[in-house]
Amino acid sequence: MTTDILTVTNLKKYFVIGHSGILKRKPITVKAVDGVSFTVKEGETFGLVGESGSGKSTVAYTTIGMYRPTAGNISFRGQNLFEGNRTRPLALKKEIQIVFQDPGSSLNPRRNIRQILELPLRIHRPGDNRLEEIVRLLEMVELPPDYMHKYPQMLGGGEKQMVAIARALATEPSFIILDEPTSALDVSIQAKIINLLIRLQDEFHLSYLFITHDLSLMRNVASRVAIMYLGKICEVAEAAEFFRNPYHPYTQMLLSAIPVVSEEEEKLKPKKIISTGEIPSPVNIPSGCSFHLRCPKKMDICSEVDPVMVEVEEGHTVRCHLYGQP
């Protein structure tokens, strides 16, 4: 039986971005993440997908400890990451790593690759032979050993991302958050990075939380997929079931817009769903179901009552009034 490595329970992260009213005392709050729950199982890739502003990156940054949650829990192998006032202990910092979207800005341009890879080794693995480990880390991401003498600005985008992945691997983690790891790269390089991540996952039994706006990418990469919209998860399912049998109108809308190459894939796609309107501002989230202003299937109840997650099939949950609300 596969065990859960990460459990996120009713996570909320609100930001106060200003004040309104005559006396400027009423806080203006952005509910970036508003009651998100999911689990990541040992050895799997859990895809968290959403448009810009959906809150998916805030989930990632809260998990890594860059933000403290406003409410809710995140636990790693059963240990609460935010118990009391402390953030993650050093042992958990070693276990959980992140690869950011833009390797150009996540690597210090004044340090060469050797220095970049040395830093996590010094903190988390003080007894190990650092030079040997740096060579091994570069080999793991398919870069030659002499790259340790180069600076980030001497590398291409894909090579920089390989160094960022090597840096994440330096602490020997079991869980890596991949925050849009390929979206800043040329299409020709994207497949190489994805194949590298899949190989490393097999080799080191890594668990991934894969954050992306690109739903089609998840078809071949994720074990399970969750869709986020305005700070909430609307649907979660095993990847095969998710693409074959989407329930939520928002998921159907996203899937119907994915370009496909074969007639068979075209037949499997949901019928084209035209949504109305733009994604609302996270400062002013609509009442009831937050998708109701864009939903072609909305009913009277949708603008008044926020639906809850219900299980429609084993392991497949949906938050929509169309399906058996309690």
Q: If binding is defined by CB under 6 A, does position 31 make contact with ligand SF4?
A: no
Q: What totals of helices (H) and strands (E) does the chain contain, helices first? A: 11, 12
Site string for ligand SF4, 264-293 (x = CB under 6 A): -------------------------x-xx-
302 is an interface residue for ligand SF4 by CB under 6 A:
yes
Adjacent-strand bridge partners of 179: 211
Euclidean distance between CA atoms 212 and 100, whole angstroms: 11
**Which residue of 36, 134, 197, 320 would you call a contact of ligand SF4, by CB under 6 A?**
320
Based on the shown chain and the rule CB under 6 A, indicate whether residue 120 belongs to the binding site for ligand SF4: no
Quick one: which of 295, 312, 316, 317 contacts ligand SF4 (CB under 6 A)? 295
Q: Which is nearer to ligand SF4, 56 or 321 (CB)?
A: 321
Q: Is 307 in the site for ligand SF4 (CB under 6 A)?
A: yes
| Closest separation in Å from C-beta 130 to ligand SF4 | 53
Enumerate residues 6+ apart whose C-beta is below 8 A from 214.
49, 183
Q: Is 5 in the site for ligand SF4 (CB under 6 A)?
A: no
Q: Whose Cβ is closer to ligand SF4: residue 74's or residue 226's?
A: 226
Binding map of ligand SF4 across residues 234-253, x = CB under 6 A, - = no contact: --------------xx----
Q: Could you tell me where the beta strands, DSSP code E, fall in 224-265?
A: 224-229, 232-238
For the four alpha carbons of 165, 195, 207 and 254, in that order, the dihedral sign comes to positive
Between residues 185 and 295, which has the closer beta carbon with respect to ligand SF4? 295
Residue closer to ligand SF4 (CB basis): 174 or 251? 251
Separation in Å, CA 80 to CA 75, 86, 103, 208, 243: 4, 10, 30, 19, 33
What's the token pair of residue 316?
Answer: 């497949």
The DSSP symbol for 145 reads G
Classify the phi-psi angles of 265: left when phi > 0, otherwise alpha if psi is within -120 to 50, otherwise beta. Answer: alpha
**Residues making contact with ligand SF4 (CB under 6 A):** 248-249, 289, 291-292, 295, 297-299, 302, 307, 320-322
